[in-house]
Amino acid sequence: MIMVHNTLLKRRLESLKKNWYKFSKNPVSVLGLFFVLAVSFVAIFAPYISPYPMHAGRYVNFVEASETPSLKHLCGTDVFGRDILSRIFFGFRYSLMMGAVVLSLVVVPGVVLGLVAGYYRGTWIDTVIMRVTDVFLAVPPLILALAICSVLTPSVFHAMMAVSLMWWPWYTRLVYGLSSSLRNEFFVQAAEVTGASRSHILFREILPNCVSSIFTKMSLDMGWVILIGSSLSFVGLGAQPPTPDLGTMVADGAKYLPDQWWIAIFPALAIMITVLGFNLIGDGFRDLFALEDI
Amino acid sequence: MSTLKFLGKRLALSIFVLFGLSLLIFTIARVLPGDPVRMALGSRAPQWAVDNMREQMHLNDPLYAQYYYWLSGALHGDLGQSLFTRRAVSTDVKEFLPATLELAIFAGIIMAVFGVLLGAVSGRYSNTWIDNSVRIFSYIGIVTPSFVFAILFMLLFGYVLNVLPTVGRLSPWIHRPPVITGMVSLDALLSGNFAALGDAIRHMILPAVSLALGGMAQEARITRSTISDNLRKDYIASAKGFGVPERLVVLKYLLKPSLIPTVSIFGLDFASLLANAFLVELIFNWPGFSRYGINAMLNKDLNAVSAVVMILGVVFIVVNILVDLLVAWLDPRIRLGAERGK
């Protein structure tokens, strides 16, 4: 028994190694990985590595207000005299948290619904699940998230909930397509014939064959969710000042364009680098697993 | 016949989706904590005025009755009163929707034309410097939020170069064309006012390009990958072998089938375009439906928010049906499959 387990583990490790080799041969994917790791590192250790950690929150120093980028303040200071680089470092925390929380909330229900609907394709279960999904997909997620946020008191937490509520149907639709075609494969029919339980078929036979697609979509979605989160903050329906959220910082800085360009431009670049990192990784996965329709 | 059948099926499904959407929006609008009437009238309004208005809006009735009033009103074109502009929401919609449609259509055309053009060129010359620069451009387009584009363009073209207008739909000194469709550029064209037409288009360029760039990048990427795949197919080699001129091969045999995936994602791209219009219209102060919508959301104007989301739902359904019809026209497999009654 242990022997079998060991060889299985060994084989998994080997395939992981092989995949990593293929992934790392593409310099663009590695660049994406570098961006994501760098952003995550900065976010986690923000209190220790940002030059002025106390500038992240409510802090005012009008003597140093609106300073151009210099060695003392690499990205300049905002109108309250807060160091923008420090605020960006803390801003990464909110962006990553937005992506991580939303995805961890939506992937499981979205995938399970998709699996079930696809497996029971053509029955009333399929109809109910997929028609509800259609309704949620009828309007872009940003608009419905805006509508939900507008009826709640704006906060980071509510923004996350609103986006999550709108995001699960994308996973349902993705997995539905995969699951409804996989159910006709021989290995699924073989499992049915040998009397495997429904949950075994769904989660042990069909699900493992969807994992690469789900994974790829997740890394691309990290970028999209961060974009949507920053859009919500930009209009004032997400994070509220003095929270150092990147979208909020761009919105605040936009008021002082064109003279004090650094207040808006650096946070905007920070959003772009984060989203770019996840996109490049997602593309790397897509090439690696030879997926086309994500 | 099969197209009609297909259309009928899609319409039936659309009605169902709209019904579901109305339930969803109603649920969102009524979970509002706090009193929308109090918010609209202000904290100084006397209690009897608030009570009157609550009664008027049926807010004291049970939820299913409220839903019934709302839906039957909406079906008759009565979307309630905006708590913020104090006018009928339908009046506001008539005033603001054309401006957004005008902008979105203009942006959609830019997105489709340049997306396909860039993708086709980079697919035809794949792995050259042209292809690589298009790829870098695509990444920038995809990862940049449209509100960042809007701000950058405003800064660059509005202030630094000062070549394009950044606010509104028409310059104040231009004679405004009569309102026919509500879309200024179209009205100007219809009434032969070419000065206004030029000015209206100049006003649209910056917001439209900010909206179009994200989708343009997506379309360019998809078109590139299908074109470079199809270029290697045998039928292209044989067409070339028969001595069919290169231009004809590219335009007739390569481009048409390669456009199928591009057209299919156009619906999604157009959706995100209209969603981003909520931010871009705010930045460029474009007096459109999305700016109306976002102001309604910021002011917790229930009736207006519901109407905005509902109407956008209708717009998307129409766009998606058009996209499906276009795909069916491009892709004989779908058309013939439909005829076999599949």
Per-residue H/E/C for B112-159? HHHHHHHHHHHHHCCCCHHHHHHHHHHHHHHHCCHHHHHHHHHHHHHH
Chain A nearest-CA residue for B28: A148
B139/A279 Cβ within 8 A: yes
Output Rg (C-alpha) for chain A, integer angstroms.
Answer: 23
Q: How far lies A247's CA from each of A58, A95, A228, in Å?
A: 17, 9, 9
Q: Count other Cβ atoms within 10 Å, centred on residue A254.
A: 20
Residue A145: Cβ within 10 Å count? 28
Q: Output the CA torsion sign for B37, B38, B42, B48.
A: positive
Per-residue 3-state assignment (H helix, E strand, C coil) for chain B: CHHHHHHHHHHHHHHHHHHHHHHHHHHHHHCCCCCHHHHHHCCCCCHHHHHHHHHHCCCCCCHHHHHHHHHHHHHCCCCCECCCCCCEHHHHHHHHHHHHHHHHHHHHHHHHHHHHHHHHHHHHCCCCHHHHHHHHHHHHHHHCCHHHHHHHHHHHHHHHCCCCCCCCCCCCCCCCCCCCCCCHHHHHHHCCCHHHHHHHHHHHHHHHHHHHHHHHHHHHHHHHHHHHHHHCCHHHHHHHHCCCCHHHHHHHHHHHHHHHHHHHHHHHHHHHHHHHHHHHHHHCCCCCHHHHHHHHHHCCCHHHHHHHHHHHHHHHHHHHHHHHHHHHHHCHHHHHHHHCCC
Mutate to test the interface with B, among A139, A142, A230 (most CBs of B within 10 A): A139
Q: Is the distance from CB of A162 to CB of A231 less than 8 angstroms?
A: no
Residue B33 has pLDDT above 70, yes or no: no
Lookup: tokens for B305: 């928010």
Quote the tokens at residue A108. Answer: 């499981």
Per-residue pLDDT of chain A (294 residues), as tens digits, is 455 667 778 888 888 888 888 888 888 889 999 999 999 999 999 889 888 888 887 888 788 777 788 888 888 888 888 888 999 999 999 999 999 999 999 999 999 999 999 999 889 999 999 999 989 988 888 998 988 888 888 888 999 999 999 999 999 999 998 998 888 889 988 998 998 888 899 998 899 989 989 989 999 999 999 999 999 999 888 888 888 889 999 988 888 877 888 888 999 999 999 999 999 999 888 888 877 666
| pLDDT, tens only, B321-335 | 888 888 888 877 766
Q: Which whole number is the average pLDDT over B189-213?
A: 87
Out of A138, A151, A231, whose CB is closest to B28? A151
B28 in A contact zone (CB under 8 Å): yes
* Position B339 pLDDT exceeds 60: no
Provide φ and ψ at B81, rounded to 5°: -105, 140
**Residue count (chain A):** 294
Q: Is A264 within 8 Å of B160 when comparing Cβ atoms?
A: no
For residue A223, the Cα-to-chain-centroid distance in whole angstroms is 5
End-to-end CA distance of chain A: 39
**B190 close contact with A: CB closer than 8 A:** no
Contact assignment for A139 to B313 by CB distance below 8 Å: yes
Would the CB atoms of B148 and A250 count as touching at under 8 Å? Answer: yes
C-alpha span between B314 and B326 (Å, rounded):
19
Q: Average pLDDT for residues B246-274, to the nearest whole number?
A: 85
Does A140 contact B305 at a Cβ distance shorter than 8 Å?
Answer: no
Q: What is the dihedral of CA B157, B159, B160, B166, to 10 degrees?
A: 0
Report the residue of B131, B140, B151 to disrupt the A interface, i.e. the one with the largest count of A CBs within 10 Å.
Answer: B151
Q: How far apart are CA B101 and CA B98, in angstroms?
A: 5
Q: What is the per-residue pLDDT for B13?
A: 85
Among A142, A234, A264, beta carbon nearest to B275: A142
pLDDT at B341: 40
User: Quick one: pLDDT at residue A279?
Assistant: 92
Q: Is B155 on the interface with A (CB under 8 A)?
A: yes
Q: Would you state the pLDDT for residue A3?
A: 59
Which chain A residue has its CA at the smallest distance from B305's CA? A147
Token pair recorded at residue B24: 């969803």
Residues of B in contact with A149 (CB under 8 A): 297
Beta-carbon separation of A148 and B28 below 8 A: yes
CB proximity A147 to B under 8 Å = yes
Tell me the chain B residues in contact with residue A280 when contact means C-beta distances shorter than 8 Å: 139
- Residue A255 pLDDT: 83
A254 in reach of chain B (CB within 8 A): yes
* Shortest CA distance from B298: residue in chain A: A150
Question: Nearest C-alpha of chain A: how many angstroms from B113?
Answer: 23
Average of per-residue pLDDT values in chain B: 84
**B296: chain A residues, CB-CB within 8 Å:** 150
- At B49-99, the pLDDT tens digits run 778 877 777 777 777 888 888 888 888 878 877 877 778 888 888 888 999
- Collapsing DSSP to helix, strand or coil, A153 comes out as coil
Distance between start and end Cα atoms, chain B? 14
**How distant is the Cα of A272 from the closest Cα of chain B, in angstroms?**
5
Candidates B159, B279, B309; nearest CB to A144: B309
Tell me how far apart the alpha carbons of residues B111 and B213 are, in angstroms, rounded to a whole number: 7
The reported pLDDT for the residue numbered B32 is 62
What whole-number distance in Å separates Cα of residue B86 and Cα of residue B73? 17
Please report the domains of chain A, with CATH numbers, ordered by start residue.
35-46+92-289 (1.10.3720.10)
Is the four-CA dihedral B19, B23, B28, B33 of positive or negative sign?
positive
**Preferred mutation among B147, B206, B213, B229 to probe A, highest tally of A CBs within 10 A:** B147
CA distance linking residue A201 with residue B5, whole number of Å: 37
- Which of B29, B32, B279 has the CB atom closest to A235's CB atom? B279
Q: Give the residue from A254, A245, A263, A230 showing the smallest Cα distance to A81.
A: A263
DSSP state of A197: -
* A121 close to A180: Cβ distance less than 8 angstroms: yes
In A, minimum Cα distance to B306 occurs at: A147
Residues of B in contact with A148 (CB under 8 A): 28
According to DSSP H, which parts of A67-83 are helical? none
Which member of A134, A135, A143 has the closest CB to residue B312?
A143
Q: How many residues does chain B have?
A: 342
A258 touches chain B (CB under 8 A): yes
What is the Cα–Cα distance from A288 to B291, expressed in whole angstroms? 42
Neighbours of A24 (CB within 10 A): 12
Band of pLDDT at residue B233, cut at 50, 70 and 90:
confident
Q: What ipTM does this complex have?
A: 0.84
Does the beta-carbon distance from B294 to A147 stay under 8 Å? no
Per-residue HEC secondary structure of A117-147 comes to HHHCCCCHHHHHHHHHHHHHHCCCHHHHHHH
